[in-house]
C-alpha cells in the first residue's frame, strides 16, 4: 500500500485543511467555536449568517474533521475537534497580521481610541487581578464565560453592561476583554464605561490567546 502513495496524495490531504479554512465565514465560525460549544442557531445569530449558509460552512469544516457534533433533542451542537484547531486559527491570524500590512492598518483603525488598549503584560495583568487592583470583565455572552474565562474575571455581557454598572466599584480600573483582537464588544464596553465616568481599558486577548501563551483558563 505504502509504495502506491505519492507525495501529491499527502499534500492533497493537508490541502483539505487549507481549503476548509479558506472562507472568511468559516474562520469566523472557528473563532466562535473556540469560545465553547454552540448550536447552529446560536452560530447563525452570532455570525449574522443565513441558516442554510451556516450549515453549509459547518459541513465543510466537519468534512475536514475540524469540528464535531452531538445531538441534544432537536438541536445539533457543534464544537472544535480539538484545542489544536483553535491554535490553527490563532497561527493563521498571526501570520496574516505579520505579513499583511492591510490587516495591521485595519486592526489599528478598529480600536475605539488609541489609549483604550492597555499595554499591560499578561503576567502583570494577572498579578493585579489577583490582588484586586483591577477589575477584569468578560463582556462575551455568559455561556462563553461559563465554558472558559480569564482568571479572576467577572461575567458582564455587553448587552447587560449598562443596567449592571452598579456591580462595578467606582474608583477601580476596569479591564475588558472579549473573543480576541477581531472582537469589537470590548471596545464598545470601554466606550460605555468611560462615558459613565469609569477608568476603563481593554486587552486584545481572548481565552484562545491567553491559553496559547500557557496561562491558566478558569471554568
Domains and CATH numbers, the chain: 2-86 (1.10.10.10), 112-212 (3.40.250.10)
Question: Residue 1: what pLDDT?
Answer: 47
Question: Residue 3: what pLDDT?
Answer: 60
Question: Residue 4: what pLDDT?
Answer: 79
Question: Residue 108: what pLDDT?
Answer: 79
Q: What global pTM score does this model have?
A: 0.90
Question: Residue 116: what pLDDT?
Answer: 67
Task: Quote the cell numbers at residue 130.
Answer: 489577583
- Residue 118 has, within 13 A of its CA and on its CB side, a CA count of 20
Question: Residue 185: what pLDDT?
Answer: 94
What residues of the chain score a pLDDT lower than 50? 1
Q: Which residues are catalytic?
A: 178
Amino acid at each position: 500500500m505504502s509504495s502506491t502513495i505519492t507525495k501529491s496524495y499527502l499534500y492533497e490531504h493537508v490541502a483539505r485543511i487549507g481549503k476548509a479554512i479558506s472562507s472568511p465565514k468559516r474562520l469566523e465560525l472557528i473563532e466562535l467555536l473556540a469560545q465553547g460549544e454552540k448550536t447552529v442557531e446560536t452560530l447563525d445569530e452570532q455570525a449574522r449568517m443565513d441558516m442554510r449558509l451556516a450549515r453549509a460552512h459547518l459541513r465543510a469544516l466537519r468534512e475536514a474533521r475540524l469540528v464535531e457534533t452531538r445531538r441534544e433533542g432537536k438541536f445539533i451542537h457543534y464544537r472544535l475537534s480539538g484545542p489544536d484547531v483553535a491554535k490553527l486559527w490563532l497561527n493563521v491570524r498571526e501570520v496574516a497580521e505579520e505579513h499583511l500590512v492591510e490587516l495591521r492598518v485595519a486592526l489599528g483603525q478598529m480600536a475605539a481610541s488609541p489609549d483604550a488598549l492597555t499595554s499591560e503584560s499578561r503576567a502583570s495583568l494577572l498579578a493585579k487581578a489577583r490582588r484586586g487592583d483591577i477589575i477584569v470583565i468578560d463582556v462575551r455572552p455568559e455561556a462563553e464565560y461559563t465554558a472558559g474565562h480569564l482568571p479572576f474575571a467577572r461575567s458582564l455581557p455587553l448587552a447587560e453592561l449598562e443596567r449592571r454598572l452598579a456591580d462595578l466599584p467606582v474608583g477601580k480600573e476596569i479591564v475588558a476583554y472579549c473573543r480576541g483582537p477581531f472582537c469589537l464588544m470590548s471596545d464598545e464596553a470601554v466606550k460605555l464605561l468611560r462615558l459613565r465616568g469609569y477608568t476603563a481599558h481593554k486587552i486584545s486577548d481572548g481565552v484562545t490567546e491567553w491559553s496559547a501563551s500557557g496561562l491558566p483558563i478558569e471554568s
